[in-house]
């Protein structure tokens, strides 16, 4: 079980690429809970992005912020068409919101990021939710389109 592993073991597993998308997601959800408990709802997304990235780094995960996602159109590649808020362990895209309610378009946006980047799992985390458990949505890219 990932949560029971020590920080040193998690860092070793991450460095050796042994963490699965689900293991990474579990750590992200736990870290988001900690951040939301400490800061509460209502801050800017950029604040949650900074603090969550720090919390994940402390837990031994590699985190990239504002990662460009390319798109191809009519044979041309546009390298910075979109930006994902966080990319954790080069496996899980984390899209952050700080709004009253998540809309279907937010889930579609994350699914598009997953498809374009050829990744399987994303987390949409709304820090604006009164309870963080109600603000976390898993989005899976399992369809070939």
pLDDT digits (tens, 9 = 90+) for 58-76: 999 999 999 999 998 899 9
> Is position 56 within any domain?
yes
145 domain residue, yes or no = no
Q: Are the CB atoms for 103 and 8 separated by under 8 Å?
A: no
Q: Is residue 35 part of a domain?
A: yes
Q: Three-state SS across the chain?
A: CCCCCCHHHHHHHHHCCCCCHHHHHHHHHHHHHHHHHHHCCCCCHHHHHHHHHHHHHHCCCCEEEEEEEEEEECCEEEEEEEEEEEEECCCEEEEEECCCCCCHHHHHHHHHHHHHHCCCEEEEEECCCCCHHHHEEEEECCCCC
pTM of the model: 0.86
Mean pLDDT of the chain: 90
Residue 1 lies in a domain: no
- Is position 26 within any domain? yes
For the cut 60, the answer to whether the pLDDT of residue 144 exceeds it is no
Parent domain of 100: 7-140
Least confident of 30-34, 39-43, 120-124, 140-144: 140-144
Q: Is residue 90 part of a domain?
A: yes
Tokens 């597993």, located at residue: 13
Whether residue 24 lies inside any domain: the answer is yes
Task: Specify if 107 maps to a domain.
Answer: yes
> What does the pLDDT read at residue 1?
42
| Domains: count for the chain | 1
Is 108's pLDDT higher than 60?
A: yes
């Amino acid at each position: 079980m990932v949560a029971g592993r020590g920080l040193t073991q998690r860092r070793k597993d991450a460095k050796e690429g042994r963490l699965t998308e689900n293991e990474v997601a579990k750590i992200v959800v736990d870290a988001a809970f900690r951040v939301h408990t400490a800061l509460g709802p209502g801050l800017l997304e950029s604040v949650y992005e900074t603090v969550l990235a720090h919390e994940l780094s402390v837990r031994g995960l590699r985190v990239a912020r504002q990662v460009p996602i390319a798109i191809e159109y009519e044979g041309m590649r546009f390298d910075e068409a979109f930006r994902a808020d966080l990319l954790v362990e080069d496996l899980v895209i984390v899209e952050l919101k700080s709004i009253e309610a998540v809309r279907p378009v937010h889930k579609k946006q994350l699914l598009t990021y997953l498809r374009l980047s050829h990744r399987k799992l994303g987390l949409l985390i709304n820090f604006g939710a009164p309870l963080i458990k109600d603000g976390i949505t898993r989005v899976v890219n399992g369809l070939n389109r």
